[in-house]
């Protein structure tokens, strides 16, 4: 019997790659298999995933999370141990043993541990290591198992391809699973043989020809079983220096059916292209030229049949095989099997003979047929952005299905869609802030043309598309991370990455943005998405991290004014605007205001987070939130993107249910408080951003299923009448913002430091006023209109004539009114629980003033209070200023025809101005001079 040669080669190659290149996972047994007990050993110090830092230094609380697969190319977690279901809880069956120095082990017998049915092969184990609550973990690993009566394990050389110098001695060492007749051939020449042996040891000198491949074939025979295994050694090639032809770009360039590849790889000495066209072997004709700038390698691969996808990789300096960092499509053997055919129809099968992530090119591709070729973007100062995570927005998690939801977003008044990262990231289930291939849209959401379709449909509906761009960091599978790697971190000579991040918020591997090589990558990536996908701009993640000023763990120092960081961002902005003069550049910066102001003055927009203050306001505390006003920040233009929720914070509805609220709100009151928050948010001029489903009052905690884990989809909220009313408030406010120019006025005033908050907008003769009681109790204040005449309460549709511009008004907790001196609406929208402005009711109450007298009025020091009628009981007297603040209170008897003297000098905070004196339901105005 002769075992399948190709499968064995793949299997051995993967095993050698895992053990040598990764080194994190080994077994105590040389030939681990699915039937016998094996000891899995994991060195946590060698883990690449930054989340593994939380596992270091522990003496307990370390668990294996794993599965078994029946084929090399299939799902490594096909079979899982019973009870392994909740990642956020300890899995006792997977509890590991400490060996010291952050090395851990566990013993298991695969067939029984994973309950693999008898007769089903066990080809591999998929695994990771985590702590009990799952907040710290390693990346995924695959441990390939041996099967059959005869197997070989190479100890030297242990790579699929091994580089050597000409005329150099090479030691061949291997172990066999049982004794066998063995021979090693170089080509057709037998260079070693031995009968009845379980090992190979040979010192052999390689030839003198540079760039030549030397295949070595090891053959084992035992009884009727015979296997062969091949490894390749090749001598270091001599690389020709030659400039690229005109028009050849970095990455893939198509000239008709001709395919050119260009790899930007500073400090590397030679590169081969390997792929389906070379049967994944080194072939001298695919040695790449080196460009005269010594940073690039390029090759004319020749013509390929149009419409046929070809997989390939780069073999670099004889030590590393990687996918093309600028390929627009990759194939991932560990994650592609989980992408369904509806999401990605006809996804190319992972090629036999390859290992690791591979790139794909395809000549003869047709250009996407754009419907909208010259989209007119919304003005920066009037953006209404909807931040959206495709994974959690539609049930099937597809680009194309999001496009079907655009009518909903358009009715919501959205004119810009901000997509959380869609660039190819590690795994299939992620927020996307772990990017690996910057030219490739992630296949977990669909094809690249599906994404183009979404962008095209957005433009067709007047909606700009802003891409959440992650260029502060990259994950381990990014080729530029792996190309310059030093065992556990980026190498000191990496042209792209810092060995250690310069700031405390890096999660993966931190780019050095002062490096010319990083700047090349940033420029290429931004230009590519602006031109190839017609995106309208970028929201840059963690832009404060684009610094080489090392702040260590000091977050305060990190946020200080940084001239070098400003220089970096001005360069990036100017480069982007050279590609596209109106592209949006939005920064998640949160640095010192002086720095943000300077960036804004150069044309960039900055995220302005009011979530913390809005949380306290909705919880009925007296917080201001004026820092999201560009005028309060001293910015000359509206370059702050205001938001009260984003992907990064706990949801406001959850905060309203928490113990931190100043009072306990009913379910209906919470939704009304959310309406209050929307009104306070929208009335401040400038760009706005809302997080998906905030317009419904989405009340699932950000920590459900883990912070970045998938959240339940609750479109059924639209069947809840109260939530639909909240949505209606959002729709009206957003559409007013887009349709009424006064919402972009530069003439506005904020009075938001107290429980009763007021915002005034002016544009010519048009006036808009928002007044809102954010406190826990009702408030009575004197309210002053900027002009007399007819006014309208927008949400109730009521109109009223103002003759005396200052009127008393009573506001229940959470009540707000949008007053406009133009007839924008004359019907009750039935969206808020109050019917009409309370001062209309109070105007009848004010008739009681005849029985409640205050004199003299105006007054300076002493006033007298008297009643024509009363019940002789004690009543609470309150003195309230125009902002609703209680400045004095006392309990006095209400005796008919008697006078009470009130000494104004006792009221320390009383200054000249207008005040309300309230006794029970009776209200009187008092002017103090």
Q: What is the CA radius of gyration of the chain?
A: 35
pLDDT band at 900 (very low <50, low <70, confident <90, very high): confident
Output the CA torsion 343→348→349→354 (10° steps). Answer: -130
Query: Cα–chain-centroid distance for residue 541?
Result: 8
> Would you call 782 helix, strand, or coil by DSSP?
strand
pLDDT score of 585 more than 90 = yes
The whole-number pLDDT of residue 845 equals 38
Give, in order, the Cα–Cα distances in Å from 232 to each of 155, 163, 187, 274, 444: 14, 9, 10, 13, 35
The verdict on whether omega for the bond into residue 770 sits within 30 degrees of 0, i.e. cis, is no
Mean pLDDT computed over 427-444 = 96
Cβ–Cβ under 8 Å, residues 425 and 477: no
> Would you call 719 helix, strand, or coil by DSSP?
helix
pLDDT band at 842 (very low <50, low <70, confident <90, very high): very low
What's the rounded Cα separation, in Å, for the pair 852 and 217?
Answer: 109
665 HSE (CA, 13 A, CB side)? 27
pLDDT band at 219 (very low <50, low <70, confident <90, very high): very high
Cβ–Cβ under 8 Å, residues 469 and 491: no
Three-state SS sequence of 488-552: CCECCCCCCECCCCCCCCCCCEEECCCCHHHHHHHHHHHHHHHHHCCCCEEEECCHHHCCCCCCC
pLDDT tens profile 502-559 = 999 998 999 999 999 999 999 999 999 999 999 999 999 999 999 999 999 999 999 9
What's the rounded Cα separation, in Å, for the pair 231 and 158?
Answer: 9
Return the minimum-mean-pLDDT range out of 25-34, 77-86, 272-281, 859-868. 859-868
534 HSE (CA, 13 A, CB side)? 24
pLDDT band at 863 (very low <50, low <70, confident <90, very high): confident
User: And the tokens for 326?
Assistant: 């600028």
The verdict on whether omega for the bond into residue 157 sits within 30 degrees of 0, i.e. cis, is yes
Number of Cβ within a 10 Å radius of residue 224: 8
The whole-number pLDDT of residue 49 equals 78
Mean pLDDT computed over 579-595 = 97
pLDDT band at 2 (very low <50, low <70, confident <90, very high): very low
Return the minimum-mean-pLDDT range out of 319-323, 497-501, 917-921. 917-921
Place of tokens 């840059």: 540
Mean pLDDT computed over 732-756 = 95
pLDDT tens profile 382-399 = 999 999 999 999 999 999
pLDDT score of 860 more than 90 = no
Spatial CB neighbours of 293, under 8 Å, sequence gap ≥ 6? none
Spatial CB neighbours of 516, under 8 Å, sequence gap ≥ 6? none
Strands 103-108 and 38-43 come out as antiparallel
Cβ–Cβ under 8 Å, residues 121 and 147: yes
Among positive and negative, which fits the CA dihedral 774, 778, 782, 785? positive
Cβ–Cβ under 8 Å, residues 699 and 657: yes
The whole-number pLDDT of residue 859 equals 84
Instruction: Round the average pLDDT of the chain to a whole number and report it.
Output: 90
Three-state SS sequence of 896-914: CCCEEEEEHHHCCCCCCEE
| Single pTM value for the model | 0.82
The whole-number pLDDT of residue 868 equals 66
**Which is higher by pLDDT, 272 or 319?**
272
pLDDT score of 843 more than 50 = no
What's the rounded Cα separation, in Å, for the pair 108 and 66?
Answer: 11
pLDDT score of 24 more than 60 = yes
Domains of the chain: 25-144 (2.60.40), 152-235 (2.60.40.10), 251-363 (2.60.40.10), 380-603 (3.20.20.80), 608-820 (2.60.40.1180), 852-928 (2.60.40.3080)
- The helix (H) or strand (E) run that includes residue 400 is helix 399-404
Cβ–Cβ under 8 Å, residues 726 and 755: no
pLDDT tens profile 350-381 = 999 998 999 999 999 999 999 999 999 999 99
The whole-number pLDDT of residue 769 equals 97
Mean pLDDT computed over 843-866 = 66
The whole-number pLDDT of residue 891 equals 78
Which of 505, 504, 508, 507 lies closest to 490 in space, CA to CA? 508
pLDDT score of 147 more than 90 = no
Query: Cα–chain-centroid distance for residue 316?
Result: 32
The whole-number pLDDT of residue 13 equals 33
The whole-number pLDDT of residue 14 equals 32
- The single-letter DSSP state of residue 146 is B
pLDDT score of 774 more than 90 = yes
Mean pLDDT computed over 486-505 = 94
Cβ–Cβ under 8 Å, residues 857 and 926: yes
Cβ–Cβ under 8 Å, residues 506 and 473: yes
pLDDT score of 875 more than 80 = no
> Would you call 587 helix, strand, or coil by DSSP?
strand
User: And the tokens for 157?
Assistant: 């050389």
pLDDT tens profile 680-695 = 999 999 999 999 999 9
Mean pLDDT computed over 655-672 = 93
Sheet containing strand 289-290, strands side by side: 251-255, 258-264, 296-303, 289-290
């Amino acid at each position: 019997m002769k075992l399948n040669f190709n499968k064995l080669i793949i299997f051995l190659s993967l095993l050698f790659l895992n053990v040598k290149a990764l080194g994190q996972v080994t077994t105590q047994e040389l030939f681990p298999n699915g039937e016998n007990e094996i000891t899995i050993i994991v060195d946590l110090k060698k883990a690449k995933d930054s989340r593994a830092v939380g596992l270091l230094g522990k003496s307990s609380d370390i668990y294996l999370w794993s599965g078994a697969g029946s084929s090399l190319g299939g799902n490594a977690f096909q079979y899982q141990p019973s009870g392994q279901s909740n990642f956020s809880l300890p899995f006792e069956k997977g509890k590991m043993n400490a060996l010291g120095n952050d090395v851990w082990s566990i013993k298991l017998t695969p067939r029984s541990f994973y309950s693999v049915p008898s007769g089903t092969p066990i080809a591999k184990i998929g695994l990771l290591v985590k702590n009990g609550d799952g907040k710290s973990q390693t990346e995924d690993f695959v441990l390939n198992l041996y099967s059959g009566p005869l197997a070989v394990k190479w100890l030297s050389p242990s790579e699929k391809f091994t580089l050597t110098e000409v005329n150099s001695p090479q030691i061949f060492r291997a172990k066999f699973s049982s004794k066998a007749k063995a021979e090693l051939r170089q080509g057709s020449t037998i260079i070693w043989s031995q009968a009845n042996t379980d090992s190979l040891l040979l010192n052999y000198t390689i030839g003198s020809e540079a760039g030549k491949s030397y295949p070595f074939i090891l053959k084992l025979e035992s009884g009727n079983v015979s296997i062969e295994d091949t490894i390749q050694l090749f001598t270091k090639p001599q690389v020709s220096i030659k400039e690229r032809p005109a028009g050849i770009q970095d990455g893939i360039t198509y000239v008709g059916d001709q395919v050119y590849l260009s790899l930007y790889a500073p400090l590397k000495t030679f590169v081969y292209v390997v792929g389906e066209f070379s049967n994944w072997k080194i072939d001298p004709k695919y040695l790449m030229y080196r460009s005269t700038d010594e940073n690039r390698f390029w090759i004319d691969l020749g013509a390929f049949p149009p419409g046929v996808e070809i997989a390939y990789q780069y073999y670099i300096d004889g030590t590393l095989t990687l996918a093309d960092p600028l390929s627009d499509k990759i194939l991932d053997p560990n994650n592609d099997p989980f992408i369904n055919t509806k999401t990605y129809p006809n996804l190319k099968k992972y090629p036999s003979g390859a290992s690791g992530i591979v790139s794909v090119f395809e000549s003869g591709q047709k250009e996407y047929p754009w419907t909208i070729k010259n989209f007119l973007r919304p003005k920066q100062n009037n953006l209404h952005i909807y931040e959206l995570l495709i994974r959690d927005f539609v049930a099937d998690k597809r680009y194309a299905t999001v496009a079907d939801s655009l009518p909903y977003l358009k009715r919501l008044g959205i004119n810009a869609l901000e997509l959380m990262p869609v660039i190819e990231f590690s795994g299939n289930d992620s927020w996307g802030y772990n990017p690996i291939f910057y030219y490739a849209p992630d296949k977990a959401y669909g094809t690249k043309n599906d994404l183009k379709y979404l962008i095209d449909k957005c433009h067709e509906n007047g909606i700009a598309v802003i891409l959440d761009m992650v260029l502060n960091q990259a994950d381990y599978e990014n080729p530029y991370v792996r190309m310059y790697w030093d065992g556990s971190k980026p190498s000191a000579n990496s042209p792209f990455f810092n060995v250690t991040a310069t700031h405390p918020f890096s999660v993966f591997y931190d780019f050095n943005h002062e490096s010319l090589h990083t700047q090349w990558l940033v420029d290429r990536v931004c230009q590519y998405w602006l031109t190839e996908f017609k995106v309208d701009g970028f929201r840059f993640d963690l832009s404060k991290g684009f610094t080489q000023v090392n702040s260590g763990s000091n977050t305060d120092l990190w946020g200080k004014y940084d001239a070098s960081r400003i220089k970096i961002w001005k360069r990036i902005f100017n480069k982007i605007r050279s590609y596209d003069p109106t592209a949006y550049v939005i920064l998640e910066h949160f640095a010192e205001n002086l720095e943000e102001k300077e960036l804004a003055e150069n044309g960039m927009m900055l995220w302005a987070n009011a979530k913390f203050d809005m949380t306290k306001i909705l919880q009925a505390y007296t917080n201001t939130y004026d820092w999201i006003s560009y005028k309060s920040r001293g910015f000359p233009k509206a370059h702050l993107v205001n938001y009260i929720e984003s992907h990064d914070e706990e949801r406001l509805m959850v905060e309203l249910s928490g113990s931190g609220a100043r009072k306990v709100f009913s379910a209906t009151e919470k939704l009304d408080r959310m309406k209050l928050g929307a009104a306070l948010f929208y009335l401040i001029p400038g760009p706005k951003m809302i997080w998906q489903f905030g317009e419904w009052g989405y009340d699932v905690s950000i920590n459900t299923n883990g912070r970045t884990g998938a959240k339940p989809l609750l479109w059924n909220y639209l069947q809840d009448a109260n939530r639909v009313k909240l949505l209606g408030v959002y729709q009206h406010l957003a559409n007013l913002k887009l349709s009424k120019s006064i919402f972009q006025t530069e003439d506005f005033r904020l009075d938001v430091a107290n429980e009763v908050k007021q915002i005034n907008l002016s544009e010519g003769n048009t006036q808009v006023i928002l007044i809102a009681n954010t406190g826990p109790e009702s408030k009575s204040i004197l309210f002053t209109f900027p002009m007399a005449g007819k006014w309208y309460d927008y949400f109730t549709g009521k109109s009223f004539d103002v003759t005396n511009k200052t009127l008393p008004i009573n506001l229940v907790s959470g009540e707000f009114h949008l007053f406009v001196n133009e007839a924008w609406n004359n019907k009750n929208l039935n969206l808020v629980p109050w019917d009409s402005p309370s001062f209309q009711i109070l105007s009848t109450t004010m008739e009681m003033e005849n029985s409640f007298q205050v004199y003299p009025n105006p007054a300076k020091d002493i006033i007298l209070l008297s009643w024509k009628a009363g019940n002789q009981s004690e009543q609470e007297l309150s003195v309230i200023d125009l902002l609703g603040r209680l400045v004095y209170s006392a309990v006095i008897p209400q005796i008919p025809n008697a006078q009470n003297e009130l000494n104004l000098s006792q009221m320390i905070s009383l200054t000249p101005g207008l005040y309300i004196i309230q006794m029970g339901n009776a209200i009187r105005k008092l002017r103090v001079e």
